[in-house]
Amino acid sequence: MTKKQHNPLYAMLKEKLLLQIQSEEYKVGDRLPTESELCDQYQVSRTTVRYALQELEREGILERIQGSGTFVKRKELQLLATRSFSEDISAQGKKPSNKVLEAVVVPADSPLAGVLGIPLESPVTKLVRLRYADNEPLIYETSYIPWSLAPGLALNHDEGSLFSLIQSRYHLQIHRSVEKLKPVLADKQVAKLLNIPEGSPCFEVQTITYLTDNTPLEYNYGIFRGDFPNFTIERIY
């Protein structure tokens, strides 16, 4: 590799690596050659290699893992708290989809009944779903919705947007949600469903969604893959 006028060697190496990533010669999750190997391959100095890798890392294309190497990074999906999951995924040029794993009516125990503001043992619809972005599993979640608000939902649901269905079929106006988020590690079941190694970092998100009159509509417990989304929370005052 030889330097062209006004084009430093590290920029040329960066462009070469970027083209290899875009052509999927290096795919998401692949480890790049070591700095030493890149030096030998392109006949450049270690400093040139480091500058090129640092530029790609700053742009979110590569990530360095101490003791493991440099990897092609998955493009993060940004989940905005003021939008639905389907709207988020669609806005970023990806196709959202859902797979319903379970749809049943169960009695509300404690503390679920208290969270939803309904009497103990009241019927609630339980929906267990996998949610996808471009056919890749992103979230494993369980939703509980009072049967009195959406009767028959367990029998007459589809695999599209749950909230769109509720608003159109039951004429309910969804207003706001409150979310609690904490880091967790994927257990065996979650790892299998989300197609990640057991023990992988994930986010546990608990959400209560309210109607315009502040009636609780849904309690949702979800596990998000930690290698995919980042969260943006927008507050309006």
CATH at 14 = 1.10.10.10
Do 92 and 32 share a structural domain?
no
Do 90 and 23 share a structural domain?
no
Do 101 and 55 share a structural domain?
no
How far is residue 114's CA from residue 122's CA, in Å, rounded to a whole number? 11
Contact by Cβ (8 Å): 199, 185: yes
Q: Which residue has better confidence, 60 or 15?
A: 15
How far is residue 162's CA from residue 99's CA, in Å, rounded to a whole number? 11
pLDDT over 50 at 87, yes or no:
yes
Do 109 and 14 share a structural domain?
no
CATH (domain of 109): 3.40.1410.10
Do 189 and 210 share a structural domain?
yes
Do 171 and 99 share a structural domain?
yes
pLDDT attached to residue 4: 53
pLDDT over 90 at 112, yes or no:
yes
Do 38 and 107 share a structural domain?
no
- pLDDT digit string (tens) for 25-69? 988 778 999 999 999 999 999 999 999 999 998 887 888 888 888
Q: Which of 103-112, 132-141, 191-200, 226-235 has the highest mean pLDDT?
A: 103-112
Q: In total, how many domains does the chain have? A: 2
pLDDT over 70 at 193, yes or no:
yes
3-state secondary structure 4-29: ECCECHHHHHHHHHHHHHHCCCCCCC
pLDDT attached to residue 128: 96
Do 145 and 42 share a structural domain?
no
Identify the band that residue 150 occupies on the pLDDT scale cut at 50, 70 and 90.
Answer: very high
- pLDDT digit string (tens) for 152-168? 999 877 777 888 889 99
Identify the band that residue 84 occupies on the pLDDT scale cut at 50, 70 and 90.
Answer: low
How far is residue 152's CA from residue 129's CA, in Å, rounded to a whole number? 17
Q: For 149, left (φ over 0), alpha (ψ -120 to 50), or beta?
A: alpha
pLDDT attached to residue 97: 87
Please check whether residue 4 lies inside any domain of the structure.
Answer: no
Do 174 and 85 share a structural domain?
yes
pLDDT over 50 at 237, yes or no:
no
Please check whether residue 140 lies inside any domain of the structure.
Answer: yes
Q: Last residue of some domain: 55, 72, 89?
A: 72
Q: For residue 65, what are the CA distances in angstroms to 4, 71, 101, 106, 150?
A: 32, 8, 35, 45, 47
Do 94 and 27 share a structural domain?
no
Element (H, E) at 57: helix 46-58
Written as six digits, the tokens of 64 are 């360095």
For 33, the domain range is 9-72
Do 162 and 47 share a structural domain?
no
pLDDT over 60 at 218, yes or no:
yes
Mean pLDDT of the chain: 85
pLDDT attached to residue 236: 39
Distance of CA 174 to the CA centre of its chain: 22
Do 192 and 81 share a structural domain?
yes
pLDDT attached to residue 86: 64
Element (H, E) at 162: helix 162-170
Helix axes 9-22, 35-42, angle to 10 degrees: 100
Backbone angles phi, psi at 83, to 5 degrees: -125, 160
Please check whether residue 1 lies inside any domain of the structure.
Answer: no
